[in-house]
Amino acid sequence: MNIKNNRMNWGTRVFIGYAAGVCFISYFVIRSMMLSTEMVEPDYYNKELAFNEHIQGVNNARLLINPIIINSNESQIEVIIDSVTAQSMQKGEIHFYNPASEKADKKMTLIPSNGKYIFNKSIFIKGKYYVRVSFEYQQKPFFTEVIIFIK
């Protein structure tokens, strides 16, 4: 009596392995084509340009001979900019950013002056603030940021 061997030969095994690999890769290709590839920010290019300008402003502020100083005491916040720079700056702004409450944020325009800007703490609610000073001087952006706590 002749017993048939039920084993597959090596050619069949290679073909089944190859077919399984093709099916595996095809499944992931089709699945990845079905995924949505939406942008997080629709105008990411403009935001990237603004971010690059922000970085340049930080670098410019670090290179100032007399750096921007932000002091906080019990009753007031004092921002000091070199008087020559402060008299010739354009588009100056100070932003008191409160991460806990958008309503607590304050934005104020910095006008050319002697370089001393004083803000009374009574106009702010208690909490953490990022004091962001930004301005243009000689067609260059300048930016600095300090964290303060108002009690």
Q: How many domains does the chain have?
A: 1
Percent of the chain with pLDDT over 90: 50
Q: Is residue 29 part of a domain?
A: no
Phi–psi pair at 44, nearest 5 degrees: -60, -30
CB 129 within 8 A of CB 97: yes
Output the pTM of the full model: 0.66
CB 101 within 8 A of CB 139: no
What's the token pair of residue 46? 């403009």
Residue 114 per-residue DSSP state: S
Q: Which of 108, 111, 70 is nearest to 87 (CA)?
A: 111
- The better pLDDT of the pair 43, 21 is held by 21
Mean pLDDT of the chain: 87
Q: Is residue 87 part of a domain?
A: yes
Q: Is residue 31 part of a domain?
A: no
Q: Is residue 1 part of a domain?
A: no
90 strand-pairing partners: 136
> Mean pLDDT over residues 11-39, rounded?
88
CA distance 61 to 109: 18
Question: What's the pLDDT score for residue 52?
Answer: 84
Confidence band of 4 (pLDDT split at 50, 70, 90): low
In a 13 Å sphere around the CA of 80, the CA atoms on its Cβ side amount to: 8
Cα radius of gyration (the chain): 31
The boundaries of the domain holding residue 145 are 44-150
Q: Is residue 84 part of a domain?
A: yes
Length of the chain: 151
Domain holding 79: CATH number?
2.60.40.10
Phi–psi pair at 107, nearest 5 degrees: -120, 130
**Max Cα-Cα span within the chain:** 112
Reduced to 3 DSSP states, what percent helix, strand and coil does the chain have, rounded to the nearest 5?
Answer: 35, 30, 30
